[in-house]
Amino acid sequence: MVRLSHAMAKVLVDAYGQQEFLRRLSDPLWFQAFGCVLGFDWHSSGVTTVVTGVLKQSLSPDVHGIAIAGGKGRKSTSAMSDIPKLAGDFGLSSAKTESLLYASKMSAKVDSAAVQDGYSLYHHAILFDERGDWAVVQQGMNAENRMARRYHWVSDSLKQQGGYVLAPHAGIICEQKTARTLDMTSKESQESQKVSLDLARGDTNNLKSSIYKLTAENTLDRWLLGGEPTKNMTGYEMPRRLDWDLFSRIYDVQPKNYEELLSMQGVGAATVRALALVSELIYGTPASWQDPVKYSFAHGGKDGVPHPVARKVYDQSIKYLEGAIDGAELEREERTAALKKLAKFSETMFPSSEGEGGEGQLS
């Protein structure tokens, strides 16, 4: 896997450039196909940790012009210490290095606090090139359903879409959608962001009063569920304890926007949820409770869940990988085996029984 990924990455970087390689890694389906070429089953969530681990061994700054920091478990936090060293090897400026550190921090913060979907991050990897362009691949696990969810980021999309708190993901892939997810990065949550910021920057005593008003007689479970107990809501009720010293610090800092508020140390899921719920129930500015997941690990029939796959776009990705394998400096047997894996993956995603033409669907 290390040898094959090294050779393919070299061809891709030489032919398309480092930035395009990072863009490809930020495409959930391309990443999945790449993992299959390296030797994984198409449906395995282990693709994430092993492929990034393999890339950490195979990518060479001297050969590919791309470095990778972070990893699984405890290694995920090593990104903050690895980035300055790797950026120094590239000769990146202090401003570029700080930007990479911020990207690593904020992508993890958003997917653990601003998108509350029940998946806890346990894997975080950031890849960047000699110009400071970057991509993040990170994964969370849901302890109840024992499923994984992978989050993809790329610096290009942030410039186009507007920062870390407005539809920032290049893609999110998971086996299934969560029934009710607090997504403060949705465009539908923009008003909630504004009110949450106003609440956090306002008098802390007024915020206390608003929260006590809601919890004095009725729990927020009743407000949110219409009196009907729902198992899916266990993680989304008002936090039983809030750090009022933190709110005092926020008041002193007076963050200029929601991203700056979220970036503050100590602001996590409980703070985000409390502000969002007060914003909705008292001030009438609802946040989005729609799961932002866009792709599935598996490919199914024509039910259109959650979204259709553009067949032409997918075919382009397959050709892109085929070209990388054909041009790689590999033995004939290795090249043939890799192409067979890719063909098998393509057949699994688009079985002939679906008919000619049209588009396949994710399930």
Q: What is the DSSP string of 196-260?
A: HHHHHHS-HHHHHHHHHHHHTTS-HHHHHHTT---GGGTT-SPPS---HHHHHHHHHH--SSHHH
pLDDT of residue 134: 97
Residue 295 within a domain: no
pLDDT of residue 121: 96
The DSSP line for 97-149 is HHHHHHHHHHHHHIIIIIEESS-EEEEEEEEEETTS-EEEEEEEE-TTT--EE
From the centroid of its chain, how far is CA 314? 20
Does the structure show a pLDDT above 70 at 23? yes
pLDDT of residue 226: 45
Number of structural domains the chain divides into:
3
pLDDT of residue 34: 83
Of 160-174, 215-229, 297-311, which gets the smallest average pLDDT? 297-311
* 201 & 91 share domain: no
* 168 & 230 share domain: no
Residue 341 within a domain: yes
Q: Among 152, 182, 212, where does a domain finish?
A: 182
Q: Among 182, 212, 231, where does a domain finish?
A: 182
* 117 & 211 share domain: no
What is the token pair recorded at 106? 């904020």
Q: Express as a percent the part of the chain with pLDDT over 70.
A: 71
pLDDT of residue 38: 75
Residue 360 within a domain: no
* 170 & 146 share domain: yes
Does the structure show a pLDDT above 50 at 361? no
Q: Which residue has the tokens 């995920």?
A: 76
* 33 & 166 share domain: yes
pLDDT of residue 296: 64
Largest distance between two CA atoms of the chain: 73
Average pLDDT, the chain: 80
Q: What's the domain range around 265?
A: 187-283
* 233 & 174 share domain: no
* 31 & 145 share domain: yes
pLDDT of residue 232: 38
Beta bridge partners of 153: 136
Does the structure show a pLDDT above 80 at 215? no
Cβ neighbours of 241 (radius 10 Å): 6
Does the structure show a pLDDT above 60 at 352? no
pTM metric for this prediction = 0.80
* 267 & 168 share domain: no
pLDDT of residue 202: 95
C-beta of residue 199 within 8 angstroms of C-beta of residue 279: yes
Tell me which residue of 68, 67, 60, 78 sits closest to 6, measured CA to CA: 60
pLDDT of residue 235: 40
Residue 55 within a domain: yes
Average pLDDT over residues 263-284: 92
